[in-house]
């Protein structure tokens, strides 16, 4: 618990500094604690020190954590790739979906969700073959096709930076996502306000904030990793 508190404090200082450098307000950035590699107990502890947004990348992860943590003030973020047939298992249990990237998922949400879901459309800005997400040039067409999907509200875009030490390359990816977001937001689509930016993880969240991230998804730097049964 103490180390957790300490990690959060360091992260908060880094976030504050990044906000100051980019003339942004701290409250415009939401920290999502990514708990996919830790126990429910550790996830509970991170809530107790005040982080009320949790992220998981597998349906089982969300379901297990929710079963153990029955609190209504927690926001649940699904950040991973989801198979269409699993959408029904999670869609009414999450507050945000960060990984909408294909029509089959959109159709399944439309069919299964009992109320509107706030979604980020995932974009593969870096173009790496291994990454999910739409190509930037497919984005607008995809979002326009969602006009009739009243269960989906596109609140923003999400990306993952390439795995590299090259900070300028990472920055250029985040900047591209921001530009895409700005273009879409300017179109004032009712179903797609597209004002939010989910980008930045443990290694690159300060760069992401400097480039406009509204949601950073922080796993290892905050909660560490635990092996099964630990903690
Ligand atoms: C695991 C994961 C994160 C967190 O990664 P860390 O490097 O541990 O901070 C963020 N986003 C997504 C989509 C992830 O799968």
In this prediction the pTM is 0.96
Please, what is the average pLDDT of the chain?
95
Distance 222 CA to ligand 1 centre (A): 11
CA distance 146 to 110: 10
Average pLDDT estimate for 122-144? 94
164 Cβ partners below 8 Å, 6+ apart?
170
CB 103 within 8 A of CB 147: no
Average pLDDT estimate for 114-125? 98
CB 89 within 8 A of CB 63: yes
Instruction: Decide if pLDDT at 15 tops 60.
Output: yes
Tens of pLDDT along 29-78?
999 999 999 999 999 999 999 999 999 999 999 999 999 998 889 999 99
The strand ranges marked E within 24-106 are 30-34, 53-56, 75-78, 96-100
66 vs 225, more confident: 66
Greatest Cα pair distance, the chain, in angstroms, is 49
What is the best residue among 56, 81, 159, 217 to mutate for testing ligand 1's pocket, by most ligand atoms within 8 Å of CB?
Answer: 217
Token pair listed for 28? 């415009």
- Quick one: pLDDT at residue 229? 44
Average pLDDT estimate for 142-165? 96
- Quick one: pLDDT at residue 126? 87
Assess whether the C-beta atom of 202 lies below 6 angstroms from ligand 1: yes
CA distance 65 to 92: 15
Assess whether the C-beta atom of 172 lies below 6 angstroms from ligand 1: no
- Quick one: pLDDT at residue 130? 83
CB 30 within 8 A of CB 216: yes
Instruction: Decide if pLDDT at 170 tops 60.
Output: yes
Coil vs helix vs strand at 24: coil
Provide the residue ranges of all domains of the chain, joining segments of one domain with +. 2-225
- Quick one: pLDDT at residue 8? 98
Instruction: Give the class (CATH, top level) of 2-225.
Output: alpha beta
Categorize the per-residue pLDDT at 227 as very low, low, confident or very high, splitting at 50, 70 and 90.
Answer: low
Instruction: Decide if pLDDT at 231 tops 70.
Output: no
Position of tokens 């979906």? 97
CB 193 within 8 A of CB 154: yes
Instruction: Decide if pLDDT at 2 tops 80.
Output: no
Share of the chain above pLDDT 90, in %: 91
């Amino acid at each position: 618990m103490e180390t957790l508190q300490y990690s959060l404090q360091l992260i908060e200082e880094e976030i504050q500094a990044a906000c100051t450098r980019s003339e942004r307000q701290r409250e415009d950035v939401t920290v999502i604690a990514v708990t996919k590699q830790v126990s429910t107990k550790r996830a509970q502890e991170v809530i107790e020190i005040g982080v009320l947004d949790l992220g998981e990348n597998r349906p089982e992860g969300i379901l297990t954590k929710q079963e153990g943590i029955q609190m209504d003030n927690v926001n649940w973020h699904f950040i991973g790739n989801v198979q269409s047939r699993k959408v029904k298992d999670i869609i009414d249990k999450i507050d945000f979906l960060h990984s909408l990237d294909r029509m089959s998922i959109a159709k399944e949400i439309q069919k299964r969700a009992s109320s509107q879901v706030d979604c980020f459309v995932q974009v593969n800005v870096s173009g790496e073959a291994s990454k999910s997400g739409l190509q930037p040039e497919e984005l607008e067409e995809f979002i326009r096709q969602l006009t009739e999907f009243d269960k989906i509200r596109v609140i923003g875009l999400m990306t993952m930076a390439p795995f590299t030490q090259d900070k300028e390359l990472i920055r250029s990816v985040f900047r591209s996502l921001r530009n895409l977001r700005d273009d879409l937001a300017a179109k004032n689509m009712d179903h797609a306000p597209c004002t939010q930016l989910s980008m930045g993880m443990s290694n690159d969240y300060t760069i992401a904030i400097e480039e406009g991230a509204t949601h950073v998804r922080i796993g290892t730097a905050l909660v560490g990793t635990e092996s099964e049964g630990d903690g």
